[in-house]
Amino acid sequence: MCLYIDESVHGSAYSKQKAFIAQTDIVVWKFLDKRYDYRDGKYHYHAPYRGTEYKLGDLNESALEKEWDKVHKGLHCFASHRKARSEKEIFGSTSSVFCGIIPKGSQVYVGICKELVSNQLIVYKSKKDLEAVHGEIQPAITKDIALAT
């Protein structure tokens, strides 16, 4: 899955588009497939497009790879629950939407549909689990909240 970089956020000069650094934890939404592994008798959670496994409640990390106006590699998520729900329909009903945090200090790109790609992401099984660790959550990100170049 590619993220097309939002020029209104990152600027239009492809060579100069850099990831923002999250100045605070950013609340996000991620849809994942829940798969049962008969080898270990446990459920595992995977991104539906590339199959990347996510460990719930743990810090998941990835390199960011950008070429021109696209980010090809990173941890994709959404700034709104509604957008995550609508996008998951593309991948079928086996996916579920989970809440998560892009931790403070992470590198973040904003896409043209306000989706996000980061090098770090913590996904939680429920909003209650997230709030047990981070406190009450607030609505997600806008262009000028929680990001700085």
SS3 87: helix
pLDDT tier at 52 (50, 70, 90 boundaries)?
confident
Q: Locate tokens 């086996």: which residue?
A: 94
From 100, 98, 101, 102, select the one nearest 45 (Cα to Cα).
98
> Which pLDDT score, from 0 to 100, does residue 96 have?
84
Q: What region, left, alpha or beta, does residue 57 occupy, with left being phi > 0 and alpha being psi -120 to 50 degrees?
A: left
For residue 20, give every residue at least 6 positions away whose Cβ sits within 8 Å of its Cβ, in sequence order, or none: 9, 10, 107, 108, 109, 110, 147, 148, 149
Question: Under a CB-based contact definition with an 8 Å cutoff, are residues 69 and 14 in contact?
Answer: yes
Q: What is the pLDDT of residues 58-88, one digit of tens each?
A: 999 998 888 787 788 899 898 877 777 777 6
Please report the pLDDT score of residue 144 as a whole number. Answer: 42
Contact 28, 54 (CB under 8 A): no
Asked if residues 110 and 20 have their Cβ atoms less than 8 Å apart, the reply is yes
pTM: 0.83
The H or E element that residue 73 is part of is strand 70-73
